[in-house]
Amino acid sequence: MDFLVFQYPMITLQACLDGILLGVLFALIAYGMALQWGVMNIINIAQGDLVILGGYIAYFMYLYGIHPAWGVIVAPVIMYFVGIAIYKLVINKVVDRDLFISILATFGISILFMQLMNFAFGADVVLANSGYGTTMLFDNNVVLPNSKIFSAFISIVFAICLVIYMKKSKLGRAIRATAQNARAAKILGVDTEKVYAATFGINAALCGVAGALISITFTIHPYMGLPYTIRSFMIVIVAGLGNLPGVAMSGMGLGVFEEFADYILGTEFRIGSVFLLLVLILVYRRFKLSRKREYLK
């Protein structure tokens, strides 16, 4: 146990800011997962692998002399079509089946993607340099890499655009209708097949954006997808489905929680503490639910 983090207010501030910037990025990935979980009832294990694939798109742009930040625009466009293709090839066959089948199917896709990326791009750890520099605050005591600020900013922009799109556009309304009741939507003339494909595409596009941002701020590697899947899964579990502000809050909250756990317990307990939190939240939820049931009786 180490309480250095509370003794110096600057470190506390640094930990909070690092956590929030990280959390916003995770929230973007989690939002895609929540969307498709809510609409299609599919838990996508390949979420993290889609993120990494998006990262490679930005990385290759960087290799060919294009600034990787443009990946934020290019990656989602390519990934949207990748998403549609995955839907047409695999997901449409499992979308009405039970959750277990879809988990197996996306797990398979995840393994396939990992191996294909390894085969195509090699097993080296790579990154794209943005050359964005650093912001120093409070007499150089708080340091924020501009690449992280950029990532958080872009994530927020994309999240806001998506919320507006879901509210205002025809497809957005169709998606929301399908999420509420697929059968009723179908009766009222919504082409649910199209809605599903679009939802999967939008999710893949969001992963593409996040991946491009991750290649700028962290590192990418064909086998690094799973931690992103797990984190977004946790964020969605904590926030609940179809709860966008909840996803954003729980993303940032988890980010900050992770940073503090890192300082207090040590880096080795960082991920473990997040899992512990997940268990606690699930137990609490169950407890609350059972009380509600008693009340209903």
Interface ranges with other proteins (CB under 8 A): 4, 8, 11, 14-15, 18, 22, 115, 118-119, 122-127, 129, 134, 136, 140, 143, 145, 147, 214, 218-219, 221-224, 226-227, 259, 262-263, 266-268, 270-271
Can you give 246-293 as a three-state secondary structure string? HHHHHHHHHHHHHHHHHHHHCHHHHHHHHHHHHHHHHHHHHHHHHHHH
**Amino acid letter for position 212:** A
- Report which secondary-structure segment, H or E, holds 137: strand 134-137
Q: What is the rounded CA–CA span in Å between residue 26 and residue 234?
A: 10
Give Cα separations from 35 to 42, 127, 219, 236 (angstroms): 10, 29, 26, 10
Pick the closer one to other proteins by CB: 78 or 226.
Answer: 226
**Please, what is the minimum distance in Å from the beta carbon of residue 64 to other proteins?**
15
**Please, what is the minimum distance in Å from the beta carbon of residue 239 to other proteins?**
22
Residue 67 falls in which region: left (phi positive, over 0), alpha (psi -120 to 50) or beta: beta
**Please, what is the minimum distance in Å from the beta carbon of residue 203 to other proteins?**
22
Pick the closer one to other proteins by CB: 245 or 267.
Answer: 267
Pick the closer one to other proteins by CB: 156 or 271.
Answer: 271
**Please, what is the minimum distance in Å from the beta carbon of residue 143 to other proteins?**
4
Q: Whose CA is closest to 30, among 296, 287, 255, 194?
A: 255
Pick the closer one to other proteins by CB: 126 or 171.
Answer: 126
Pick the closer one to other proteins by CB: 162 or 274.
Answer: 274
Pair type for strands 142-145 and 134-137: antiparallel
**Please, what is the minimum distance in Å from the beta carbon of residue 263 to other proteins?**
6
Pick the closer one to other proteins by CB: 8 or 70.
Answer: 8
**Please, what is the minimum distance in Å from the beta carbon of residue 139 to other proteins?**
12
Q: What is the rounded CA–CA span in Å between residue 192 and residue 179?
A: 10
